[in-house]
Structure 1
Amino acid sequence: MRQVVQHFPLLARHRPACLPLPARIRNLTGLAEQAEATRDQGTASAVLNQAALLASDTGAAEYAQRLCRDQAHIFLASGPLDGPTAIRALEPIINLGRLHTRAGAPDEARSNLAHLAEAIRTRTEATIHGVTISSRLVVDDLGRQEVLAWLWRVTLADGTRTLTTQGRWQEALEHVRAHRGIGNRMLDGRQVAVAAHLMLQDQQAATALVAATQAGEPWENDVTALLAATCRQATVGHLSEPTVQHLVHLGSREHEPGRTVFATRLALAAHAQLRAHPVTAVAAQHLQALIRRRVLAAADGYAAWDALAHLPVTGPETSALRELVDLCALGRGLPTEHRVVLDTATAIAADTIRASLR
């Protein structure tokens, strides 16, 4: 069961592919130049957010932290801010929390997230991850409500993830309940609640949640179907032939560009369910081969990393996946020549933000 639920929650958010490092840096440079030409604060912020993520992906954690703090200070020096701009000011602070989670300090990240939300709610000064946030960050009540609504979504998603990645399912369930995050559709809060009940061996509660789920977008319905199969397997101990075929279908389904990681994780969860039973081994092998081919075709380092972490280490395609991860420099360090180019791109983005705040 753990091998299946570890992939949840599954959310089909669009995210840029993790391309080979030179291409990724070229794209960021182009985005920085676009932000400068259009004087677009949002695009410039995206450059800095993505640059910090790139640095973290390569293992340059201190550089990533510096980028986040510098970005936050640019915005915070210009307060008070309207709602959307205040959110952009806080994005790098949220990213600092994610860096802490990656570094093995998820409880600190979750605690700081709660502290930040309370500071905004009560209009008090706070120091979060070494960055001081003024009590007058937001210019008016309307903007403050925008920020708090955004922080609620972040707290639900990031706070829950800090618990599920440690296998603390009871606390994760309490967290989504406390933040009124279960909802009626199969979004992250409801997925976590179902997974938590399964891990706590309360199949009846998990099954009831799945059965009462309101239909949503096609990808949500796919996740609901996958969790329904997981509940049935947990209850009766085996998979029927129609369920096996449906799992293969779910794992094989094509998804729109920008959802490669979601599609890969959905397929990996289906594969984990099939792989758990000898009688479904052939179906698992079929899905396993399809996942590898699809990830290699997408050339997405994040998806390749996931595939290597969760699929058997066999066959020539495994070597190709490793090569893709190496090309993307995931955990391999940030070479000096690439860092110099990244410094230039982030400087352009930072200057664009400063100009927009004058």
Structure 2
Amino acid sequence: MSTHRLTPRTAGARGDDAPEHSGTERAILQVLGGASLNEAAAAEQVGQEDLVEAVEVYRQAGWQALERQQASGWWQVYIQFADWTTSEQVAADTIVPLLSQAEENGLVTNWWFMRKHPCWRLRLHPGADGQAMRAQLAVAFDQAAADGRIARWWPGIYEAETAAFGGEEGMATAHGLFCEDSRAVMRLICDGDVGLGRRELSVLLCGTLMRAAGLEWYEQGDTWHRVAQERPLPEDVPLAKLTTMASELKRVLVADTKPDGPLLSADGPLASATAWADAFRQAGHALGEAARAGTLTRGLRDVLSYAVIFHWNRLGLPARTQSILAWTARTATLDLPARTASNQPTERQSPETARAATSASRTAEDPQERFLARFPLVPQRRFRCPDLETNVRNVRECANSCREPVTAEERINRACTVWNLSALIAADCGLPDLAVDLCHQQFQIFRAASPISGVAAIPSLQPLVNLARLTRRAGDPEGAYRELEAINRAVRGGGKVMIHGEPIDFNGLITDCPSTVDRWLRDVMRDDGTRALAAAGQWANAATHAEKYDEADTQLREARQTRIIAHLTSGQTGTALDMIDNTLASEDWEHAVASCLRGYVLLQNQSLGPTEVIDLLNTVRRACEATDRPTTLFRARLRLAAVDLALAAGFQARVLCTELVEDAERSADAFVAREVLTHAECRAWAMPVQQTGLHALVEQAGLGAGHIPWPVLAELMASIEIAKSVLTETLSTMTSGEVGGEKDSAARADAVLRLR
């Protein structure tokens, strides 16, 4: 029927302002009021078919009007911050208190935000008086801009993405989730971590959302696939990295997130995130019910994929991180090979191809970024990496000697050496799951023998620290730092914490924290904690952290190096130069590192010329003349830092590169060989025969191979069985006197057994 019959006629001759309703309209109103179609049609003399059509038109128009009203009910505000990098902290310190006050006053009923550089888009739902809300918040935002807390603000029009979220019902559910998610993100920023990194936490929440919606495992995988299609994989991301990360992420994807489960229960390690997870669970359930009832106008998995992307935006995950996370989750759930940015399948890579791809990605990096990635640069004793068979044979010899010592302390140390070296070999060979399992098995032996004290305390903590190191290896340095902090706190205060995706109960594990344990933990926090933050690019936090644990803050160690770089990355080159010049440097390596940092300052000031580069290279060469084998890897990284500075300034460093290649050959160390081969410029100065030899070192060591030949693996696992037996027996028979001693050998052993 023609819609003109639904348009009110002007009263005209009646002389009043009210519109005159047609018979069709009166019939529609009767039907909407509860009358039957037959009665209304007869009363107003309207055909039944016309009336059915007219009622449907009215209903559709009503839904459209409600949709416009709902969208217009949200007030959108653009907030621009003076510094985008600190925007979330400013929002937490400035915007959230304003909104909280507005809620207390009844001006705002709900709010949420999205990030879109250079602004945040804030959506506010008014209370009873929308005009008062706009007026009072405008004054507050004006004041924030006037005193410099924000750069500026302006109002806008909010256009809800109703179609993308499956219609009105889906959009309403999404809005509810957006609001709870926004509040939780702000609490995270204000209160600090919840015991899990942002990436892992987001996967945990999104997995909860999908399961609550009723998706089975492979349906979840299809949802991750849809997310991945919206976030193409950067071409420089090595596919091997996704495979490694997938095995780690799978633990998070299958984690138990029930309210009374081990993670989110009142005494669980993620108890503070319970309300956050509840919001995702409720939203998932509502969307799943809507899909099953047929009230979603878009596929459930499409809607959920958009919810994931919106959540990642609020959480502040960079686009690159979102891409890697989406493709990793897709790989973990569907067990499909990752695809390139063009979404074309890629063939399985041979070790040689993988090396070339890794080298290409390193080449694409900026030399200045490579330079910073090597800091802090402090000599640490790292034993060389021989061929795999020799490595495993050394472990077996250690296992065979486990029963020889008279003291329980030495038997424990030798048994733990077997465990730790085996986990290290597994990780180096590209078998992170095996490394994780070995760490868990080792810890469970100590857990079963708890409470632990004295000489057994440090060995009981070593597998947990190694798990945190594996987290960093998996590409999550922030998560590794949080795990190290959690271990440091829990040793002293107990409780349950998340370590590498698993809850670890520290209650009753260690009876006390003697000075040796405290000193060992301080060393771990200084060495591993600082480097984890540095690897995440959080130089200011790394410096603040290192200063708590580095007692030699006037020397060029972790604290001073990270503080200098923190000044440099924030543009305070003068302050950085003063710190370098006032450093107490007494050893050649300190002078070399100081020279590198000074060169970086000059590079930022565009004053690193030929003379300065020559002086820098000569200083580094002198420092690398030492032949102490345990510091070969440090010398290689020091040389490469100098090479990168020279390259960034437009110069070559042929002599330093050729010396490094020769040093790598002499060392017979696969770790050093790998450093050379993954640096394109340095590798280019190696003769073909040298490159072949270095490649052979890496291959024979099995670095990144993704497997261990069965006979070798069998020997490794046999060594583990011996160590398991010795460790279990020793812990069960130790006397209180043996348990209570305090010696340094366990701490010294850990320095040897680091998961690099």
Correspondence for 1:318: 691
* Contact 1:156-1:181 at 8 Å conserved across structures: no
Distance (Å, rounded) in 1 between the aligned partners of 2:506 and 2:535:
32
Q: CA RMSD in A?
A: 2.4
Task: Call closer, same or farther: CA 1:28–1:239 in 2, change over 3 Å.
Answer: farther
Task: Call closer, same or farther: CA 1:202–1:193 in 2, change over 3 Å.
Answer: same
> Which moves more between the two structures, 183-192 or 312-321?
312-321
Report whether the alignment pairs 1:61 with 2:403. Answer: no
Partner letter of residue 147 of structure 1? V
Task: Call closer, same or farther: CA 1:186–1:45 in 2, change over 3 Å.
Answer: same
Structure 1 residue ranges (4+ consecutive) displaced by more than 4 angstroms after TM superposition = 177-182
Task: Call closer, same or farther: CA 1:179–1:53 in 2, change over 3 Å.
Answer: same
Partner letter of residue 516 of structure 2? E
Correspondence for 1:160: 530
- Quick one: which of 352, 362, 382 aligns to 1:15? 382
Task: Call closer, same or farther: CA 1:240–1:79 in 2, change over 3 Å.
Answer: same
CA offset digits 1:239-266 (Å, max 9, x no partner):
4536514523423422312111011111
Correspondence for 1:293: 662
- Quick one: which of 706, 710, 715 aligns to 1:336? 710
CA offset digits 1:64-96 (Å, max 9, x no partner):
111101111112222222244211111111111
- Tell me the TM-score normalised to structure 1 length: 0.89
What are the ranges of 5 or more consecutive residues in structure 2 without an aligned counterpart? 1-367, 734-756
* Contact 2:383-2:629 at 8 Å conserved across structures: no
Distance (Å, rounded) in 2 between the aligned partners of 1:217 and 1:86:
35
- Quick one: which of 267, 271, 278 aligns to 2:643? 271
Task: Call closer, same or farther: CA 1:119–1:206 in 2, change over 3 Å.
Answer: same
Task: Call closer, same or farther: CA 1:70–1:103 in 2, change over 3 Å.
Answer: same
Count of residues paired in the alignment: 353
Other structure's SS at 1:258 match: helix
Report whether the alignment pairs 1:107 with 2:478. Answer: yes
Distance (Å, rounded) in 1 between the aligned partners of 2:400 and 2:592:
39
Report whether the alignment pairs 1:32 with 2:32. Answer: no
* Contact 2:617-2:656 at 8 Å conserved across structures: no
Distance (Å, rounded) in 1 between the aligned partners of 2:722 and 2:417:
12
| Structure 1 segment 126-145 matched on structure 2, within 5 A | 126=497, 128-129=499-500, 130=502, 132-141=504-513, 143=514, 145=515
Correspondence for 1:304: 673
- Quick one: which of 529, 545, 550 aligns to 1:175? 545
* Contact 2:546-2:558 at 8 Å conserved across structures: no
Distance (Å, rounded) in 2 between the aligned partners of 1:56 and 1:292:
25
Structure index of larger Rg: 2
Q: By how many angstroms is 1:340 displaced? A: 0.3
Distance (Å, rounded) in 1 between the aligned partners of 2:730 and 2:569:
49
Q: By how many angstroms is 1:287 displaced? A: 0.9
> Which moves more between the two structures, 236-245 or 182-191?
236-245
Q: By how many angstroms is 1:302 displaced? A: 0.9
* Contact 1:288-1:311 at 8 Å conserved across structures: no
Correspondence for 1:215: 585
Q: By how many angstroms is 1:355 displaced? A: 2.9
CA offset digits 1:218-247 (Å, max 9, x no partner):
433432343234334444522453651452
Distance (Å, rounded) in 2 between the aligned partners of 1:185 and 1:110:
24
- Quick one: which of 76, 87, 98 aligns to 2:458? 87
Distance (Å, rounded) in 2 between the aligned partners of 1:43 and 1:191:
35
Structure with bigger helix share is 1
Correspondence for 2:598: 228
Distance (Å, rounded) in 1 between the aligned partners of 2:588 and 2:508:
42
Correspondence for 1:356: 730
Partner letter of residue 106 of structure 1? P
Partner letter of residue 672 of structure 2? A
* Contact 2:377-2:638 at 8 Å conserved across structures: yes
- Quick one: which of 403, 415, 419 aligns to 1:44? 415
Partner letter of residue 24 of structure 1? N
* Contact 1:18-1:301 at 8 Å conserved across structures: yes
Correspondence for 2:627: 255
Report whether the alignment pairs 1:2 with 2:362. Answer: no
* Contact 1:19-1:299 at 8 Å conserved across structures: yes
Other structure's SS at 1:38 match: coil
Task: Call closer, same or farther: CA 1:106–1:4 in 2, change over 3 Å.
Answer: closer
* Contact 2:599-2:612 at 8 Å conserved across structures: no
What are the ranges of 5 or more consecutive residues in structure 1 without an aligned counterpart? none
Distance (Å, rounded) in 2 between the aligned partners of 1:189 and 1:347:
41
- Quick one: which of 419, 434, 446 aligns to 1:75? 446
Distance (Å, rounded) in 1 between the aligned partners of 2:625 and 2:635:
8
* Contact 1:110-1:159 at 8 Å conserved across structures: yes
* Contact 1:14-1:259 at 8 Å conserved across structures: yes
Distance (Å, rounded) in 1 between the aligned partners of 2:696 and 2:417:
28
Task: Call closer, same or farther: CA 1:139–1:334 in 2, change over 3 Å.
Answer: same
Q: By how many angstroms is 1:217 displaced? A: 4.5
Task: Call closer, same or farther: CA 1:197–1:321 in 2, change over 3 Å.
Answer: farther
Q: By how many angstroms is 1:211 displaced? A: 1.9
Task: Call closer, same or farther: CA 1:229–1:15 in 2, change over 3 Å.
Answer: same
* Contact 2:492-2:512 at 8 Å conserved across structures: no
> Which moves more between the two structures, 32-41 or 122-131?
122-131
Distance (Å, rounded) in 2 between the aligned partners of 1:50 and 1:217:
31
Greater relative contact order (Cα < 8 A, sep 6+):
1
Distance (Å, rounded) in 1 between the aligned partners of 2:370 and 2:473:
20
CA offset digits 1:92-130 (Å, max 9, x no partner):
111111111111233322222222222222244545343
Other structure's SS at 2:401 match: helix
Distance (Å, rounded) in 1 between the aligned partners of 2:692 and 2:617:
27
Distance (Å, rounded) in 2 between the aligned partners of 1:192 and 1:80:
38
Distance (Å, rounded) in 2 between the aligned partners of 1:187 and 1:83:
30
Distance (Å, rounded) in 2 between the aligned partners of 1:307 and 1:123:
44
> Which moves more between the two structures, 88-97 or 189-198?
189-198
* Contact 1:126-1:135 at 8 Å conserved across structures: no
Task: Call closer, same or farther: CA 1:169–1:242 in 2, change over 3 Å.
Answer: closer
> Which moves more between the two structures, 166-175 or 252-261?
166-175
* Contact 2:534-2:542 at 8 Å conserved across structures: yes
Distance (Å, rounded) in 2 between the aligned partners of 1:171 and 1:182:
18
- Tell me the TM-score normalised to structure 2 length: 0.44
* Contact 1:169-1:200 at 8 Å conserved across structures: no
* Contact 1:160-1:175 at 8 Å conserved across structures: yes
Identity fraction in percent: 28
* Contact 1:185-1:215 at 8 Å conserved across structures: yes
Distance (Å, rounded) in 1 between the aligned partners of 2:519 and 2:581:
29
